[in-house]
Structure 1
Amino acid sequence: MTSLTHLDAAGAANMVDVAEKKVTSRVATAEGKISLNAKAMSEVLSQQNKKGDVISVARIAGIMAAKQTSTLIPLCHTLLLSKVKIEFDVQPHNGQILVSSMVKCEGKTGVEMEALTAVSVACLTLFDMCKAVDPNMIISDIKALTKQGGKSGDWQHKNET
């Protein structure tokens, strides 16, 4: 069982020791989407949602979530993030909001989980703020898009060009 990095020799959960790894610049991006009905979309676009500015609140939630990833995901390392950026591509023509994140740090381990957590929580916040108008929203297609830095080098999702 010692070939699995998050299990010790006895098979118990184990946080990977990164003490000997080099500090390098790390960047990761992720995206996801939420599908919502026309009324909910209209409220988002006109900023008429009863709970407030849906996009601004979701952006702050995503940033906060990235900073809290190590408290949410077991065995993740605490990282000193230097940048978290959350963007929203509101697409009223197809009833979707595409949420993307970019997370950066100088560290010994990557920030893919932070980028994914940011997108996930931003989408969940959109859902929470719009659920009174559309309880049938669908959050989907959350995925890591890219990672840069570290020993294993750069990576890009196979469907991204």
Structure 2
Amino acid sequence: MFSVKEAEGLSPFELGLFLEKSAKQAVKNSVPLNAGRGNPNWTAAAPREAFFLLGLFAVTEMERVRQGELSGMPARMEMLSRFELFLKGQTETPGKNLLERIWEKGEQFLGADKHDWLFELVDAITGDNYPNPDRVLKYTDQAVKAYLRKEIFSRTKRRV
């Protein structure tokens, strides 16, 4: 182990290697998480499962507006009832519970109309519509602001 005095003389790369080596020694019987240099050895599965499940629903909605080999933009009409049926049919599907909570929180925390929130989620995941002027979508903007308020401004003392 290095002392603080010895560590002060290390370059950032040497310090990083030292910390990596120390972490491996500290957890000899397990694999440490590596989030460095843009190539982590882990991923957060639950958000991805919810994301892809929403994407699957969005594709089924696009297929309803099929034009030959191309699918159209999702139709808003009766999408809410189809989404509720879609979720009910996903009894064992990973990501279902998180997607359901995200959808419900839009109404609870953002005051979003269920139809508007669902349409924005589906519109956003299909990536087929660019707002003009360039901006974040309405409810996405509200969700990001609420998150930042909670994480940055709601704590009186933060440890660094």
TM over 0.5: no
Q: Larger relative contact order (C-alpha < 8 A, sep ≥ 6)?
A: 1
Higher strand share: 1
Higher helix share: 2
TM-score interval, normalised by the smaller of the two chains = under 0.3
TM-score (norm. length: structure 1) = 0.26
Larger radius of gyration: 2
